Amino acid sequence: MEINQTTASKLVQLVLNCVECEYPHSNIYWLSSDEDVKPPRELTPAFYGCLDWHSAVHGHWLLARLARYFPEASFSLSAKQALEKSLIPEKIEGEMAYFKRHPRFEVPYGVAWLLQLAAELHEWDDVGAKKWLTALQPLEKLIADNLQHWLQKLTICDRTGMHKQTAFGLGLILDWAKITENSDLINLIEHKTKQFYLNNKNHSLKFEPLGHDFLSPSLAQADLMRRILTQNAFAEWLTKFLPDIPVDNTNWLKPLEVDDSEDYMQSHFYGLNLSRAWMIEGIISGLPDEDKRINTLHNTATIHRQIGLENAICEHYAGSHWLGTFAVYLTTSRGLSI
């Protein structure tokens, strides 16, 4: 399955089915007072559906991405109507009130996707997009400021394969910072990236996944490093970091299988196959054309892409509330277009 209007329409519909679906709901809310004991629609009025805040945010990103990617498609109007309903000043003010009370909510994963949504609106030459960006910008600025304070004080990175992972979040945030020309955050991310990852050596993917991962700790680090190093420097770093990548060998890393697609944790492996594919494609983009590992990497990315996309449209809510985003990020090469 590749992205075309038919597939995109199905993915848009999955998001439309969940952006206003408040329950079931699973989120980690920090309760500081009775004011925080409210239904999700009141705590975070723009992004309360799709099981959790981050999925609601990147569901809105999917709507913007595909409406921008297929402007003449029939689903574009429905996608824009949903964005018009969510991205209004009064709802964004509600989001800001929550983030002012809880500045580290959804750091870094969810807020990285919020900045990706903002980045999509910044780049989209559309009257509606400009209007929604204007509404979103106060939250965009607040989150960027919160992130800068968080990152300045961060001394140990998170190397897990789930939401708290530092490398993946920094990659998305860095791409937004480049689009918006936020030089302070660009410089800070590059400094912290080198501090955390530049001297890493001898990692191996044979120990992954570490749990119910939907992100590869090792590949995410490499996909981040290729964003800040020259091709030759990145090739040298990759040799030291992942020395087990075979040269001209197609049998390196197998996709994950899922036994129970209705299990919310097992469904993460569908996402892992998709994120592995785009991270490996990112790694390839950072290497010199003559690098002898590219054939292995290309074949590995292809099989992960194929398996991942075959399972991206799920009937059960365990996957349907979020996997479309990963499929769209991969098939529209979002991480390669900065």
Peptide bond into 24 cis (omega under 30): yes
The phi and psi torsions of 278 (rounded to 5 degrees) equal -75, -30
Check whether 221 has a pLDDT greater than 80.
Answer: yes
Buried b (16+ CB within 10 A) or exposed e, 190-219: bebbeebbeebeebebeebbeebbbbbbbb
pLDDT at 91 over 60: yes
pLDDT at 55: 98
Alpha carbon distance 57, 53 (integer Å): 6
Q: Dihedral angle at the C-alpha atoms of 15, 19, 21, 27, nearest 10 degrees?
A: 110
Q: What is the mean pLDDT of residues 124-129?
A: 98
pLDDT bin (cut points 50, 70, 90) of residue 79 is very high
Q: What is the mean pLDDT of the chain?
A: 96
Distances 162 to 2, 76, 233, 313 between C-alpha atoms, Å: 26, 31, 28, 21
**The two structure tokens encoding residue 288:** 């010199």
| Interval 56-68 mean pLDDT | 98
pLDDT digits (tens, 9 = 90+) for 141-164: 999 999 999 999 999 999 999 999
> How many other CB atoms are there within 10 angstroms of residue 170's CB atom?
29
Determine the straight-line distance between the first and last CA of the chain, rounded to whole angstroms.
24
| pLDDT of amino acid 103 | 96
Q: pLDDT for 293-320, tens place per residue?
A: 999 999 999 999 999 999 999 989 999 9
* Spatial distance between the Cα atoms of 34 and 228, rounded to a whole number of angstroms: 44
Closest CA relative to residue 241, chosen from 200, 269, 295: 200
133 vs 36 pLDDT, higher one: 133
CA pseudo-torsion sign 181, 186, 188, 189: positive
Output the pLDDT for position 329: 98
Give 117's pLDDT tier (boundaries 50, 70, 90). very high
**pLDDT given at position 174:** 98
Q: Where are the domains of the chain?
A: 1-153, 198-338
Q: How confident is the model at residue 1 (pLDDT cuts 50, 70, 90)?
A: low
Query: Does the pLDDT of residue 138 top 70, yes or no?
Result: yes
Using one digit for the tens of pLDDT, what is the confidence trace for 167-194? 999 999 999 999 999 999 999 999 999 9
Q: How many CA atoms lie within 13 A of 304 on its CB side?
A: 31
The stretch 12-20 carries a mean pLDDT of 97
Residue-by-residue DSSP string for 17-50: TTTT---S--------SGGG-S-HHHHSSSS--S
Q: Is the pLDDT of residue 71 over 90?
A: yes
Q: Is the model's pLDDT at 237 over the cut of 80?
A: yes
296 by DSSP, 3-state: which? helix
Give me the percent of the chain exceeding a pLDDT of 90.
93
Residue 31 reports pLDDT greater than 80? yes
pTM of the model: 0.97
| Dihedral in degrees, nearest 10, Cα atoms 284, 289, 295, 299 | 40
